[in-house]
Amino acid sequence: MKKTQVKINNFISLILCVAMCACVLLASACDVGSKKNSAPSEKDLVTVTADDEFLTVAVGESKRAYATASDGSTIEWASENDDIAYVSSDGTITGAAEGLTVVYAVSGVAYAKIEVTVTKYSLVFEDEFLGDELDYTKWTHMTGVRNEYGSSVGPMFWGNGELQYYDESATKVSEGVLTITATKTPMPNGRGYVSSRISTRNKFKFTYGYVEAKMKLPADSGLWPAFWMLPEPASAENTANRYGGWASSGEIDILESKGRITDFVYTTLHFGNQGESTHIGSASKLSSPISEWHVYALDWSKDKMVWLIDGEPVMEVNSDEWWSQVGADNAFAPFDVDFYILLNLAVGGNFDNGLAPNEQFTYGSMQVDYVRVYQEYSKS
């Protein structure tokens, strides 16, 4: 298809040439017009308008761009760099390699520019938390004091000795932000706090890609916010994971923090035997407190995982470092299957040695600006 594209250099040369000629003719017309008192009006000038000034496509992905000329004339298309993105005669832009380029919509001497960004990944999931309630096509509340899914019932207090009772009331969506608030209040099962836990289980799952969330975390002793992933069970009727029970089935902790430590966060990968965890983890110092906005991300591929904070890598684990008891014959197990996303704010628990909030604590909140997942583009 590239051979059929008109090179932008030819277009620009043509535009400049025609424009110069047009300026000469316009000057002459104005000179004559000044004698006749009839200069050309603005409505005689042709303009081109593109529907989008910016466009993002993945390598191999195609998106249609649209533009119109004010006089209804035909639009011709050209790319500044066909090696980054090329464009067909109908305005379909296709990513060829990662990078930036400009696509032009041209009519005569008039043109409009579309700045094109070509990425390795395409967006496959996003929640910008617009509206005034949680999007239940993407998320499910996990409530109570343990995980109950189909015939599967998890250990009490989420297996970590946590002090909160999870309830939908602790979740709020407003002004483009998800807020999960842990509040000190009597709750069922002897819990002294209410908070919230949501997941994409049964709604969205993926294998390999780039996942990120922009978050503010509570700087309160005894609070344990988390952005993490678990393997997707086959169904509610068959809750067994492909690689058995935790931690043979794997767990990916993209972000955890201890509220009392306001400038560090933690990233961890769990794997190994059923019923016990082998793990690789890292503590990362932030450029500003956890209570300020930071972007926490994971770049997950078959061969390795890379954790990033504000775009900077903080931990890397290669596939030859992880393993699974049940998937011992598979070098990439347990991280070669679909995982789902979780967001929660726990209180107390084993992560910080059972530390509970102090007596003065009333509430603390975790905020999420967005969650996004990208994957390499596939036509299938």
Point out the residues that are catalytic.
251, 256
In sequence order, which ranges of the chain are alpha helices (DSSP H)? 8-36
Amino acid at 72: G
Beta bridge partner(s), residue 113: 104
Contacts with 190 (C-beta within 8 Å, 6 or more apart), sequence order: none
Q: Quote the distance between the C-alpha of residue 224 and its chain's center.
A: 22
Give the dihedral of Cα atoms 118, 124, 127, 130; nearest 10 deg.
Answer: 70
117 burial via Cβ count (<10 Å: 0-12, 13-18, 19+) = middle
Amino acid at 253: D
How would DSSP label each residue in 147-206?
-EETTEE--GGGGTTB-EEE-GGGEEEETTEEEEEEEE---GGG--EEE-EEE-TTT--B
The Cβ of residue 238 has, within 10 Å, a number of other Cβ atoms equal to 11
Assigned token pair, 66: 């649209």
